[in-house]
Amino acid sequence: MLQRMSGVFIGALFGTIFVVANAHDPLNPAVGIALRVLAVLTFAGLLALALRAGRHGRPAEADAEGPQADWFRGKFAFVVGAEVVLLIGGNLALRAAGAPQETAVAWIALIVGLHFVALMAVWKRRSIAVPGVALTALGLIGLGMAATSAVAWVPFVSGVLSGVALLGGCAYAIAHTYRATVRS
């Protein structure tokens, strides 16, 4: 359970970072601040719920989708290595092509989403498909928007909404684990 929860915490942390880093113009400043505060409070709440679940002991159903001996080696390392290469290489290529700077967050959302889709197959966890597909779609939408007059909204669509998708997926995973610990 600890390995699974560490993955959920990483996702929630990055979801929070996506929101905090991208909740800015053209959003109303008050809306941007509210979104940032809400993201941080959500992360804190998820952390508290996960710690409470951990105190209840090992859940009976936590690994209902299939046990994993070691989540962070082998194929996982390959997926993360490919992700890093694509993130850096893609952003350098976008810059060299003269793409607006807003495309960086769309590219990040796209690659992170694809990384979740790949990890779904590696970890055999269908639950990460939803945020994976959501981030992939939001990244593609942002890349498309970058070529339009709506380019200023790319950080909101590909950044803030991606962060919300990550936080929502992590909230689902933590709530599911918490319910399983309370039942056992």
Q: Identify the pLDDT of residue 56.
A: 65
**φ/ψ of residue 34, rounded to 5:** -60, -40
Residues 6+ away with beta carbon under 8 Å from 159: 18, 19, 21, 22, 23, 105, 109, 142
pLDDT at 184: 63
Gap between the Cα atoms of 125 and 72, Å rounded: 14
pLDDT (tens digit, 9 = 90+) per residue, 130-178? Answer: 999 999 999 999 999 999 999 999 999 999 999 999 999 999 888 887 7
pLDDT tier, 71 (very low <50, low <70, confident <90, very high otherwise): low
CA proximity to 141, closest of 166, 122, 160: 160
Largest Cα span, the chain? 56
In our burial notation (b when 16+ CB lie closer than 10 A, e otherwise), range 142-176 reads bbebbeeebbebbbbbbbbbbbbbbbbbbbebbeb
Cα 133 to the chain's mean position, in Å?
Answer: 11
In this predicted structure, the answer to whether residue 57 has a pLDDT above a threshold of 70 is: no
Question: pTM of this prediction?
Answer: 0.86
The share of the chain scoring above pLDDT 90, in percent, equals: 62
pLDDT over 70, % of the chain = 86
CB hemisphere CA count around 5 (13 angstroms): 19
Count how many Cα atoms sit within 13 Å of the Cα of residue 122 in the half-sphere of its side chain: 17
pLDDT at 67 over 50: no
**What backbone phi and psi angles, to 5 degrees, belong to 49?**
-65, -40
Q: How far apart are CA 13 and CA 153, in angstroms?
A: 23
